């Protein structure tokens, strides 16, 4: 899935960030195929930890940022 949105390796993911990668995945594959768990997994991968160990406040902040990013595309 990441390859289809232009994320070919870790450096590209780091460059665009978890939120942008998540937004691109949502646009490409749709909301049914890409849940907020993907956002958490991407952020966890960038932090080199299991997504379940991300701080709940950090998860909420990522979700808010993602909502903002996704809403920008609908304007």
pLDDT tens, residue by residue, 33-71: 999 999 999 999 999 999 999 999 999 999 999 999 999
Q: Which of 14, 17, 18, 34 is nearest to 26 (CA)?
A: 34
* Beta carbons of 68 and 74 less than 8 angstroms apart: no
Tens of pLDDT, residue by residue over 7-35, are: 999 999 999 999 999 999 999 999 899 99
pTM (two decimals): 0.93
**Which alpha helices (H) appear in the chain, and where do they start and end?**
10-29, 36-47, 56-72
Does CATH place domain 3-72 in 3.30.365.10?
Answer: no
Domain boundaries, the chain: 3-72
């Amino acid at each position: 899935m990441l390859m289809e949105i232009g994320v070919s390796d870790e450096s590209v993911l780091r460059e665009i960030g978890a939120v942008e990668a998540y937004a691109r995945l949502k646009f490409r594959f749709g909301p049914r195929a890409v849940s907020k768990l993907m956002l958490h997994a991407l952020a966890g991968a960038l932090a080199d930890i299991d997504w379940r160990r991300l701080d709940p406040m950090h998860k909420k902040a990522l979700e808010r940022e993602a909502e903002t990013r996704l809403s920008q595309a609908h304007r």
